[in-house]
């Protein structure tokens, strides 16, 4: 019974590796499985998870200790349901734009899937992203949903490129917003120079790979020492994928433009939340705050950005002369609405599982 439990608990790890690597998952040897207490990797992961939880709880406790809870509740109690409904519609528009971007990349690889199938997959991915401690779960869903028509290597590559272009779009919007937001002062935790440098480095890495796909093969050559035949096959597939993107640059340009649209819609999402509680903040101000908060949340120091996100909102709201209560409410309400919306992905997942 213990051995069966070990296998069940380790199965997701093997599934993820098999999807990303493009090969069948190797099942662990039940007869030679080690007790969980002897697995140093699991212990480190648990310790890191606990550390992230401590950081999130400590930051939230510190922020809440500095606000008037009665005032906080007053803001929330009088929130406009119409504006909150508008925020949910904007988030759905973001999901539609994200699914459209994903479809552009797949079409460029001659993999044609229905828009609503991609939207359904993205909804499920959103559910897993918000109810698991990392975004890996959502990416695995997207890869698994497209691996049958596209193949695992191609499906994984498309999701990674979609992610990369999304990050470039986020960095560009954040850099432009930070450069324009002079009234926030020079003490910003993530300054314009850092953001422009990040965007520049990302662009310098991506451009040669897309313009000269063969450069990826030279970059990955050292991996051939592990399994030459398997690595060579993967390099050939990746080179073919990048060559198709080079031959059809409109897909990449459209995907990048879609990433900018997604960031704009997310700013509008938080603006609708602020409007619901009559918080006087402009779209231009949130165009600085929201992208930077997303970048700060990528730091692996908290649980899904909790605490770090609220601290970032609080820092910038204070620079605008707004109370800390308003910053926390916009951040908390945004997280709550996103989690509420992502439940639709859970329902979608259950419905399609039942059909299968």
State pLDDT tens for residues 4-53. Answer: 443 333 344 444 444 444 444 444 444 344 444 456 677 777 877 788 88
- Residue 279 CB contacts under 8 Å (≥ 6 apart), including other chains: 75, 322, 326, 329, 330
- The verdict on residue 13 lying in a domain is no
Average pLDDT over residues 250-257: 91
Collapsing DSSP states into helix, strand and coil, what is residue 206?
Answer: helix
Distance CA 317, CA 332 (A): 14
For residue 14, is it within any domain?
no
- The range of the structural domain enclosing residue 268 comes to 70-355
Residue 44, judged by CB atoms within 10 A of its CB (0-12, 13-18, 19+), counts as exposed
Residue 53 lies in a domain: no
Q: Is residue 280 part of a domain?
A: yes
Q: Is residue 307 part of a domain?
A: yes
Query: 91-128 burial, b if ≥16 CB within 10 A, otherwise e?
Result: bbbbbbbbbbbbbbbbebbebebeeeebbbbbbbbbbb
Angle at which helices 81-108 and 228-247 pack, to 10 degrees?
A: 110
- Mean pLDDT confidence for 91-114: 94
Q: Is the pTM of this model over 0.85?
A: no
CA distances from 347 to 89, 253, 353 (A): 18, 33, 10
Give the pLDDT of residue 34: 44
Residue 57 lies in a domain: no
Say what the pLDDT of residue 190 is.
Answer: 66
- pLDDT average, residue stretch 108-125: 93
Q: CA of 45: how far to CAs of 27, 42, 51, 130, 135, in Å?
A: 21, 5, 10, 19, 15
Q: How many domains are there within the chain?
A: 1
Domain membership flag for residue 15: no
Q: What is the pLDDT of residue 12?
A: 41
The answer as to whether 79 is a domain residue is yes
């Amino acid at each position: 019974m213990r051995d069966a439990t070990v296998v069940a608990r380790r199965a997701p790890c093997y599934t993820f590796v098999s999807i990303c690597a493009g090969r069948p998952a190797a099942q662990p040897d039940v007869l030679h499985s080690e007790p969980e207490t002897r697995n140093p990797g699991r212990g480190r992961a648990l310790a890191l998870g606990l550390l992230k939880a401590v950081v999130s709880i400590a930051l939230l406790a510190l922020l809440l200790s500095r606000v008037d809870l009665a005032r906080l509740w007053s803001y929330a109690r009088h929130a406009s349901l119409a504006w909150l409904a508008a925020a949910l519609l904007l988030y759905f528009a973001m999901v539609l734009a994200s699914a459209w971007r994903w479809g552009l990349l797949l079409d460029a690889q001659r993999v044609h899937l229905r828009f609503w199938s991609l939207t359904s997959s993205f909804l499920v991915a959103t559910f897993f992203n918000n109810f698991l401690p990392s975004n890996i779960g959502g990416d695995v869903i997207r890869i698994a949903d497209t691996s049958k028509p596209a193949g695992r290597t191609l499906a994984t590559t498309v999701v990674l490129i979609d992610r990369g272009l999304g990050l470039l779009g986020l960095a560009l919007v954040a850099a432009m917003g930070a450069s324009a937001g002079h009234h926030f002062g020079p003490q910003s935790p993530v300054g314009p120079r850092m953001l422009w440098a990040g965007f520049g480095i990302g662009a310098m890495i991506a451009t040669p790979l897309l313009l000269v796909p063969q450069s990826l093969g030279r970059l990955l050559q050292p991996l051939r020492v592990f399994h030459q035949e398997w690595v060579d096959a993967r390099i050939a597939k990746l080179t073919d994928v990048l060559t198709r993107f080079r031959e059809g640059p409109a897909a990449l340009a459209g995907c990048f433009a879609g990433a900018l649209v997604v960031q704009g819609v997310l700013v509008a999402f938080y603006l609708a939340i602020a409007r619901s509680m009559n918080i006087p903040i402009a779209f231009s101000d949130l165009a600085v705050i929201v992208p930077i908060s997303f970048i700060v949340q990528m730091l692996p120091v908290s649980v899904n950005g909790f605490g770090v996100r609220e601290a970032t909102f609080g820092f910038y709201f204070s620079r605008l002369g707004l109370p800390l209560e308003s910053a926390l409410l916009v951040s908390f309400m945004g997280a709550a609405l996103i989690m509420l919306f992502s439940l639709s992905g859970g329902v979608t997942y259950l419905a399609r599982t039942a059909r299968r």
